[in-house]
Amino acid sequence: MDDASPRPAGSPLADLSSEEFAIWVGFLQTHAVLARELDADLRAAHGLPLTDFEILLWLANRPCEGMRMAALADAVLLSPSGLSRAVERLETRGLVQRIPCAEDRRGAYAALTESGSDLVRTAGATHAAGIRRRFLNRLTPEETRVLTAIWDRLLADSQQTCNGPRLRPSGTAEARFGAAADTTSRTRRNDV
């Protein structure tokens, strides 16, 4: 180590105690590390970035009908334009197909193709193993309970308590995943 003390008095974040600060930084760094590693895993094994995999993963839950573009954008926390291009990428790779929406001819569904279905299955094994190895296996049962409670609480009322944009529908993480197909609420945005 060197002479630099971690957060000298007078640090811009001096409002936070050392422990508080450590929790926040740890959260950020843990996420950064895990996301990078898992992304690298998927790219190496299947040439598939994590973001693209997550799109396929959501679609895999609705094999037949697919998902509306806006709902999918909400699901993967991407802007509509970002999703539009992502689906375009996946479409040129033959993993996803756009299906025009009969009920509303402005709209479109994104659905897995056969090969997309295959890829998400094999890549899913890689990904699940990575999540286990790098994250889940290192948690005690007690810790998993605590984490579940924290995520649910923070995500559930992120909109009421924080006057901010309503980012995700409420509910447990389990319920949130897979529940966005019909709630086509355009409420997520990076708005300032």
Partner DNA sequence: TAATGGTATTTGCGTGTGCATGCAATAGAA
Partner DNA sequence: TTCTATTGCATGCACACGCAAATACCATTA
Provide the binding-site residues for DNA, judged by CB under 7 A.
49, 51, 68-71, 77-89, 98, 101, 104-109, 184, 186, 189-192
- Distance in Å, CB of 145 to its own copies, minimum: 9
CA 132 – CA 83 distance, rounded (Å): 28
CB of 90 or CB of 130, closer to DNA: 90
Give the one entry of its own copies, DNA, none that residue 187 binds, where binding means its C-beta sits below a cut-off of 5 to 8 angstroms depending on kind: none
- Distance in Å, CB of 174 to DNA, minimum: 24
CB of 27 or CB of 85, closer to its own copies: 27
- Distance in Å, CB of 95 to DNA, minimum: 13
Give the one entry of its own copies, DNA, none that residue 57 binds, where binding means its C-beta sits below a cut-off of 5 to 8 angstroms depending on kind: its own copies
- Distance in Å, CB of 168 to DNA, minimum: 14
Identify the burial level of 44 via C-beta atoms within 10 angstroms of its C-beta, where 0-12 means exposed, 13-18 middle and 19 or more buried: exposed
Phi, psi dihedrals of residue 110, rounded to the nearest 5°? -110, 130
CB of 87 or CB of 130, closer to DNA: 87
CB of 130 or CB of 180, closer to DNA: 180
CB of 87 or CB of 120, closer to its own copies: 120
CB distance 112 to 63 below 8 Å = yes
- Distance in Å, CB of 101 to DNA, minimum: 6
Residue 52 has a CB neighbour count (10 Å cut-off) of: 24
Phi, psi dihedrals of residue 96, rounded to the nearest 5°? -140, 150
Query: 163-177 b/e with 16+ CB inside 10 Å = b?
Result: eeeeebbeeeeeebe
The two tokens of residue 24 are 């926040």
Give the sheet arrangement for strand 96-100, strand by strand.
67-68, 108-112, 96-100
Give the one entry of DNA, its own copies, none that residue 5 binds, where binding means its C-beta sits below a cut-off of 5 to 8 angstroms depending on kind: its own copies
